[in-house]
Chain A
Amino acid sequence: MTSSLVPRSLSFSRLAIYSTLILACALYLIPLIVMLLTSFKSPEDIRTGNLLSWPEVITSIGWIKAWETVGGYFWNSVKITVPAVVISTLLGALNGYVLSMWRFRGSQLFFGLLLFGCFLPFQTVLLPASFTLGKLGLASTTTGLVLVHIVYGLAFTTLFFRNYYCSVPQALVSAARLDGAGFFTIFGRILLPMSVPIIMVCLIWQFTQIWNDFLFGVVFASGDAQPITVALNNLVNTSTGVKEYNVDMAAAMIAGLPTLLVYVLAGKYFLRGLTAGAVKG
């Protein structure tokens, strides 16, 4: 509803609207600015200055120290996120394809059961999942985390693709079938090529979810296998000697950068993913 109703002449209300919006921008940006400023300050500077004061000397010591402590876990997160995102998206695509184009008795019921997974409080599955991972010999490994993220990401990825494919005309598939195309041929030749937007949405959604996960990371992985969110929390909440806020903030930025970058580069899809997940979920 981009309203063409607002007369341009109401300059006072226009002014009020713009100033409210700009004030809100400032409020949303302040934490990010503070994090950046703090991460480039020296500990001494942090004590004497304040949150928004410009660093006396810009130093990257905080970033260097932060990378030394959480850098290894950054790669853990990469190792966990990349396979989990790819596999869960692929599975979601196949599931969505079956649930929309090849319905059979019970497939709707299955979809309903799966949908509930979007709302599942993970606390109810933590213990059994940790026993299972243990039995599989995957406790405290990045592989174990990949598995968990695939399983509990399935609900959303399937939902995305199923809803997307439901809007594809069934006739397209029927015609291909009459031409003798098989299950995978139809999927690979017809549906996949037109799925680029939803694949993007799904990849980005899964990427942010898995990269930002803390609960699974803290329960199922630890020590050498922990993801960056867990490492960051450990860094911030256990300290040796003096509290180094510049290191904390630099580490937080390191943990947040990948998702921020994805958001800035592919924000369009990110937004679509959020709204799709929400409106349909």
Chain B
Amino acid sequence: MNAINRLAAAISLTCLLPLSAIAAENGTVEVTHWWTSGGEAAAVKTLREQVEKDGFTWKDNAVAGGGGAAAMTVLKTRAVAGNPPGAAQIKGPDIQEWGSLGLLTNLDDVAKANNWDALLPQKVAQIMQYDGHYVAVPVNIHRVNWLWINPQVFDKAGAKVPTTLDELFVAADKLKAAGFIPLAHGGQPWQDSTVFEDLVLSILGPLGYHKAFVELDESTLTGAKMVEVFKTLQRLGTYMDANRAGRDWNIAAAEVINGKAGMQIMGDWAKSEWTAAGKVAGKDYQCVAFPGTQGSFAYNIDSLAMFKLKNDNDIKAQNDLAKVALEPQFQTVFNQNKGSLPVRQDMDMSQFDACTQKSKVDFEDAEKGDGLQPSMAHNMATTLAVQGAIFDVVTNFFNDPKADPATAVKQLNSAIKSAK
């Protein structure tokens, strides 16, 4: 801690000079984020317009690339320099890390004035707090464990919508026999791990999932069920096309949309692709919980963490951003574009489509029991280091058709141990 304190002191010294000097009279909030794809960019624009309408200046710092990795690099160099932006897209356990460095500001006043405690689901509120104080504002809740289905393709192949893993394989066989790609997939580490995570949730159940990815419990990680997860993963791989390496998720989604493939395992952001193609939920496509994970909800919450600033006007702008992000208008537009669930509990769900409405019901059910679990593949469950170690093992296993599940389990355990 001593080193961190010294670092923090050094940072606050250098903080006196930059940014605030060039800030306009009315206050500026700079936002570092990686919402750069079509629908996301449109969603961010509504936030920007709202902040600007309130009389503040929005300085956009969109950093594309590497699923946020590039943005994190920028953030780190700037934070080390004592020149962080007003707000940055930071989520899950990372909020705690940034908080422990003493860099995040206290949003309790905004939270109280806008009644966040009542508005937000308890679990979400917890994640947004460091040391009992609000330091970040959530913007949405993604559900990761979805299966996207093209019903026309299913009809042609005579396949039934699966609810268990066995049914999934039956449907996949039928699709394959009818000449379709059963599962559209992009071979990138995070996508491979998303499938892996869904299988863990399905085979080990939510409690086992929690033990494996949150507690990193060794006996769970090395258990027979984990071997089964890897076996099933390998089997699923045989239903994906061979040229998937490096493919983006939205390209894979397009294959399902165009009727080349039957299904895709992907979080609810996949819906933005369907929407963009002019398809209607429940009619042109179906969204079902990943087989065997009904009642569970693997969440991925996007949030904006707020950094300590010096200039009073900028702090006002920052607080305004925090307030606006939770206002119903922004929540509606943003989540309609992103395909995610609004984070406010009091939203009028009739403005959303069938999939989001279903998501809302499932979220509330899962919240009552143990079903609400943080997504490992989306950096909600564990540190970046451990997540990276899991990614490495999973993606390496998944891309080698000859890999041995039992060995993979051993590798997973030792990789996690050395990354902890």
Which A residues are closer than 8 A to B by beta carbons? 130-131, 133-137, 139-140, 218-220, 222-224, 230, 233-234, 237-243
* 18 additional contacts (CB under 8 A) given A234-B64, A238-B64, A242-B251: A131-B77, A134-B79, A135-B80, A137-B81, A139-B74, A139-B81, A218-B73, A222-B70, A223-B61, A224-B61, A238-B248, A239-B248, A239-B250, A239-B251, A240-B37, A240-B250, A241-B273, A243-B248
CA gap between A153 and B320 in the complex, in Å: 45
Most buried by B among A134, A230, A237, A242: A134
Contact A241/B65 with A131-B77, A131-B81 known, Cβ cut-off 8 Å: no
A-B contact list, 16 entries, CB within 8 Å: A130-B76, A133-B81, A135-B14, A135-B82, A136-B81, A140-B61, A140-B78, A223-B62, A233-B65, A234-B64, A234-B70, A237-B246, A238-B36, A238-B65, A241-B254, A242-B251
CA gap between A133 and B74 in the complex, in Å: 11
CA gap between A97 and B14 in the complex, in Å: 38
Q: B171-205: contact bitstring with A at CB < 8 Å (1 yes, 0 no)?
A: 00000000000000000000000000000000000
User: Is B276's CB within 8 Å of the partner chain A?
Assistant: yes
CA gap between A224 and B78 in the complex, in Å: 15
The interface residues of chain B lying within 8 Å CB-to-CB of A130 are: 76-77, 80
B212 to chain A, nearest CB (A): 30
The interface residues of chain A lying within 8 Å CB-to-CB of B18 are: 137
B17 to chain A, nearest CB (A): 7
Q: Tell me which residues from 308 to 331 in chain B have a Cβ below 8 Å from any Cβ of chain A.
A: none
Q: Is the interface of A mostly helix, strand, loop or mixed?
A: helix
The interface residues of chain A lying within 8 Å CB-to-CB of B36 are: 238
Most buried by A among B61, B64, B251: B64
The answer to whether A222 touches B63 (Cβ under 8 A) is yes
Most buried by A among B37, B81, B83, B251: B81
CA gap between A262 and B59 in the complex, in Å: 37
Q: Tell me which residues from 48 to 101 in chain B have a Cβ below 8 Å from any Cβ of chain A.
A: 61-65, 70-71, 73-74, 76-83
User: Is B38's CB within 8 Å of the partner chain A?
Assistant: yes
CA gap between A186 and B316 in the complex, in Å: 60
CA gap between A238 and B63 in the complex, in Å: 12
